């Protein structure tokens, strides 16, 4: 099959052991990011299988309708960036392993890295040192503080364990049956969402972005947070009400934020309101960007291509297409 891989910024995938699974297929890898429909249509006009790296490129009906040879989109995890209905209508199979049994340790580790960086002012202290200044402020320790975990799934449960290891009191709020699991794991359950925001010294978000969770963190929620507290978001920016975080940080509740996700990605504007704030530590959506995580993810993604080529598509998220696929 003619396979195209989009948005492999550092040309990493061909260096992974799992890339050998595509032997025998004609593979083209693109290292830049293109979102223009006409440019993508020209680039992908002969492609039969399209590999996506998470949500870096949106695949909508106007593009899909210009790709008559496309038979398969192979990726991993959620797919809000793909027009599934259009794929089904056009006979394009979408395969995406939802990996419910495999925590993203990479994302959990980055979450904790951001917690430490923000609470100890690591980026700011380093920048000051490089500028010739010796110490610019006083940070905060984690021990005996309250870690609020909003969402107790594959990643949230791992982050809660890190909090316990650091001697923190862990407070969880989530939907059932995840709350049941959190209780079984020995964590304290918040009496309400309001209590979670009010009591947490560090509050970290770990939910998928779906219609039910979009904007689930409101201005009112943020206003309940302590002036000394830290909000951490390595999940999706859309979990927070549009514009609410900037206003909340300016108002001083919470006092800090640590972010790996943004409303616009890739974010290339150094004057963006969040990036301009001294009380924000930010990274460019690298929660899952490690060689170990890539090997895990793309092993699944390439298996889906191999299975399709062999006549047996797997992890199909639009099964209605199977009776009329290209």
The residues that are catalytic are 236, 265, 285
| Strand ranges in the chain using DSSP code E only, listed in sequence order | 2-5, 26-29, 49-51, 72-76, 93-97, 146-150, 169-173, 188-189, 202-205, 230-233, 256-259, 280-282
- Residue 151, sorted as left (phi over 0), alpha (psi -120 to 50) or beta, turns out to be left
Picking from 1, 45, 6, the residue whose alpha carbon sits closest to that of residue 21 is 1
Structure tokens at 53: 């790296």
Picking from 15, 312, 107, 99, the residue whose alpha carbon sits closest to that of residue 5 is 15
Max Cα–Cα distance, the chain, nearest Å: 68
Length of the chain: 326
38-45's contacts with Cβ under 8 Å and 24+ in sequence apart are: 41/66, 41/67, 43/4, 44/4, 44/70, 45/69
Q: What are phi and psi of 97, to 5 degrees?
A: -70, 125
Q: How far apart are CA 2 and CA 44, in angstroms?
A: 10
């Amino acid at each position: 099959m003619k396979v195209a891989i989009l948005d492999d910024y550092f040309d990493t995938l061909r260096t992974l052991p799992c890339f050998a699974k595509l032997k025998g297929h004609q593979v083209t890898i693109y290292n830049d990011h293109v979102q223009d429909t006409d440019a993508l249509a020209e680039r992908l006009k002969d492609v039969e299988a399209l590999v996506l790296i998470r949500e870096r490129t949106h695949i909508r009906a106007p593009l899909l309708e210009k790709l008559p040879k496309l038979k398969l989109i192979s990726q991993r995890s959620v797919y809000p960036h793909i027009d599934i209905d259009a794929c089904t209508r056009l006979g394009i199979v979408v395969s995406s392993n939802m990996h419910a049994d495999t925590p993203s340790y990479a994302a959990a580790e980055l979450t904790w890295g951001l917690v430490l960086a923000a609470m100890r002012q690591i980026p700011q202290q380093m920048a000051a040192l490089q500028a010739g200044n010796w110490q610019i402020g006083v940070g905060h320790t984690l021990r005996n503080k309250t870690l609020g975990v909003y969402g107790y799934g594959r990643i949230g449960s791992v982050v809660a364990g890190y909090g316990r290891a650091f001697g923190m009191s862990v407070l969880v709020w989530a939907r059932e049956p995840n709350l049941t699991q959190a209780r079984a794991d020995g964590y304290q359950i918040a009496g309400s969402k309001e209590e979670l925001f009010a009591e947490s010294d560090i509050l970290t978000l770990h939910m998928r972005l779906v219609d039910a969770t979009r904007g689930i963190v409101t201005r009112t929620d943020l206003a309940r947070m302590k002036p000394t507290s830290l909000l951490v978001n390595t999940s999706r920016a859309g979990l927070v009400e549009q514009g609410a975080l900037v206003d909340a940080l300016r108002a001083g509740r919470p006092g800090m934020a640590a972010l790996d996700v943004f409303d616009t990605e890739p974010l290339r504007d150094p004057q963006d309101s969040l990036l301009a704030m001294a009380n924000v530590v930010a990274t460019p959506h690298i929660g899952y960007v490690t060689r170990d995580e890539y090997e895990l993810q793309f092993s699944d993604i390439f298996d889906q291509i191999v299975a399709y080529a062999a006549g047996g598509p797997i992890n199909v998220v639009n099964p209605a297409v199977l009776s009329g696929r290209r």
